[in-house]
Structure 1
Amino acid sequence: MPMFVVSTNVAKSEVPAALLSEATEELAKALGKPAEKFAVHVNADQMMMFGGKGDPCAICSLTSIGKIGSDYNKQYSKLLCGLLNKHLGISPERIYINFVDVDATNVGKNYTTIG
């Protein structure tokens, strides 16, 4: 159920499909979870400013059942900032990422919850 959601002011036409597939593959490795369970969502063309400037920026969240915390988050931050810089040209200094650890009973799927 891991989810990576990106909101960015980068134009949709500038978002390559490779970002979504690479994020899925790399996050699956980093979290040790199957790629088939991952969801990646990019909200492009958002009206956003970061530090009072309209340069490319992103606000993100990485949500997972477990594998979130001080032992992991710096690694994820490095990975995700690198991907957003590589594919969207966003400076890592203009990216915020929230890491969210959820209980399996708080995630719904297929008419029920995961836990």
Structure 2
Amino acid sequence: MPIFTLHTNVCQSALPKTLMTDLCQLLEQAMDVPAKSFAIIIHAGQQMMFAGTNEPCGLCSLQSIGKTGGPRNENYSKILCEFLNKQLQIRPDRVYINFIDINGANVGWNCTTFAGVVF
């Protein structure tokens, strides 16, 4: 059930058409979780300032039941920053990423929760 959210001041029209698909494939491979389990949300064209300027920037979160922490987060940070730089010209020093490990009992889906499930 990983959820990736990106808030960016890059305008919607500047987003590559395959951005979400490419991002899903990247995260699927990095997290070893099937694409059918992902939710990806992109809020483009936001009124944002980062480090005192309105140059392209991104505020992200990656939420998951398990699959986050320590060295994993360092790897995710590297691949996500490189991806955002390549795809949206957002420099890595203009990206914050919050990694959030969620207890499966606190996520509902399909009339139940993910209690006891680790992706």
Instruction: Establish whether TM, by shorter chain, passes 0.5.
Output: yes
Separation of aligned partners in 2, 1:111 and 1:7: 29
Separation of aligned partners in 1, 2:98 and 2:13: 25
* Deviations 1:56-111 (CA, angstroms, capped at 9, x unpaired): 00000001110100020110001101111111110011000000000111111123
- Residue 10 of structure 2 is aligned to residue 16 of structure 1: no
Number of aligned residue pairs: 115
User: Partner residue of 2:87?
Assistant: 87
Separation of aligned partners in 2, 1:84 and 1:8: 10
User: Partner residue of 1:46?
Assistant: 46
TM alignment of 1:24-39, pairs within 5 A: 24-39=24-39
| Cα RMSD, aligned residues only | 0.9
- Fraction of identical pairs, as percent: 48
Task: Name structure 1 gaps, 5 residues minimum.
Answer: none
Letter in 2 for 1:34: P
Task: Name structure 2 gaps, 5 residues minimum.
Answer: none
Secondary structure of 2:71 counterpart: coil
Q: Contact (CA 8 Å) 1:19, 1:83: kept in 2 or not?
A: no
Divergent runs of 4+, >4 A: none
Letter in 1 for 2:26: E
User: Partner residue of 2:65?
Assistant: 65
